[in-house]
Amino acid sequence: MEEWEKFLRPYKQAVEELKIKLKGMRKDYQLNRQSSPVEFVTARVKPVQSIIEKASTRDIPYDRLREGMYDIAGIRIMCQFVDDIKVITELIRSRADMKVVEERDYIENTKESGYRSYHLIIEYPVQTIEGTVVILAEIQIRTLAMNFWATIEHTLNYKYSGEYPPEIKKRLQNAAEAAYLLDQEMSEIREEIQDAQKYYTKKRNI
C-alpha cells in the first residue's frame, strides 16, 4: 500500500492544484463583474481498486500506468449553459500550465446510453522534491443537467454493471433527451437568467 501511496501522491497534488486554478477562473470573472462560465468544480483520484480493475480490463501493465491510464486524476467542471462549455474549453487550451493532448466530444457524438459531456485529456506537470512529474488527467465539462443525468446513470451502472433492463435503458435515454431539451430551453433565455442573477447578487450585497 505504501507503493500505491507514493505512486498516487502526484495525482493527489494535481487535483488539489487544478481545483484551485479552475475555481480561480470563476473568481476572475466575478471580480470583473462578468457572468462566469464555471459554476463549480469537483475532483477525485481514482481508488486503488478501480485502478487495478481497469488495468486488468484494458491490459495496462503497472509500469505503464502513468502513460496508459488517463483518468487516475479526474476533474469535473459544471456550467449553466451549453455554450459555456466552448468558453471553458478555449480557456483551458490557452493555458501555459497544462497541455491538452486529446479531446472527446460526447455532446455532438452522444453515447448510445444518452451520455453527454466534453472531455479533455491534459498533461499536467507536478513539482515534487524528486523533480517534475508529468501526469495525465481527465477534465470533464458538462452542464448541470448533463451532470444530473450522468450521476444517476453512474449509480445505476453499479447496480446493473452496464447491462440495463430494456425498460431502464429506455427511460435513461428518454431522461437524457429531456436533459438535452432543458439545456436548449435554458440557452434560449440565457440573457434573462444572467440579468436576474446579477440583480440578485447586487441586491444581496447591499
Among all residues, which ones are annotated catalytic? 138
Q: Which amino acid is at 11?
A: Y
Strand-pairing partners, residue 142, are: 78
- Compute the distance between CA of residue 70 and CA of residue 119 in angstroms, rounded to an integer: 11
Write out the H or E segment, with its range, that includes residue 79: strand 73-79
Residue 122 CB coordination number (10 Å)? 24
- Compute the distance between CA of residue 127 and CA of residue 114 in angstroms, rounded to an integer: 39
- Compute the distance between CA of residue 98 and CA of residue 96 in angstroms, rounded to an integer: 6
